[in-house]
Structure 1
Amino acid sequence: MPEPHRHASHPAIAKRLKRAGGHLAKVIEMIETGRSCLDIATQLQAVESAIAQAKRTLVQDHLDHCLDEVVGELPPEQRRPIDEFKLISKFL
């Protein structure tokens, strides 16, 4: 069995997702108790943003660490396209 794949950012990502889970439970409660659609949509937006940010952090961390591990040491002129790829991926 392979070793667990962990990065320094994983605890923060887990914390963010747990918080989003709490917000999602609140959304369900809001629906069940008949809260306004505007209130529900606002809360859903917060959940969606939290999950999107967690995903973005996970992908960025993966690119920053795992891509470097695969590529290894390179001279600066060969490293530039990889560094540019990592930078531009932050816009996704």
Structure 2
Amino acid sequence: MYHASHLDIVKRLKRAHGHLASVITMIEEGRPCVDLAQQLQAVESAISNAKRLLIQDHMEHCLGHGMESGIKNASDALSEFKAMAKYL
């Protein structure tokens, strides 16, 4: 299922991809570890933010709207929530 937030998630993941490519180049160039750690933090942050947005969007649209429109019963929604919660 495609959501409007997926465009933002792709943008965040592309940013992480760019940071990761920079880290690899920096390692190959022998750059200082402090610079490497800073770039790795940027990669981790971009991925974490993308994951958070995906999970929040899923909970709101797939679980919340599904319950409102009667698509999911409470038991199914709870099971799905538990499955997503392990990625928080």
**Shorter-chain TM-score tier:** 0.7 to 0.9
Counterpart in the other structure of 1:29: 25
Counterpart in the other structure of 1:13: 9
Normalization by structure 1: what TM-score?
Answer: 0.72
How many residue pairs get aligned? The number is 74
Counterpart in the other structure of 1:56: 52
Shift of 1:10: 0.2
Shift of 1:73: 5.0
Is the radius of gyration larger for structure 1 or structure 2? Answer: 1
Normalization by structure 2: what TM-score?
Answer: 0.75
RMSD after superposition: 2.0
- Give me the identity figure in percent: 62
Runs of 4+ off more than 6 Å = none
Secondary structure of 1:35's counterpart equals coil
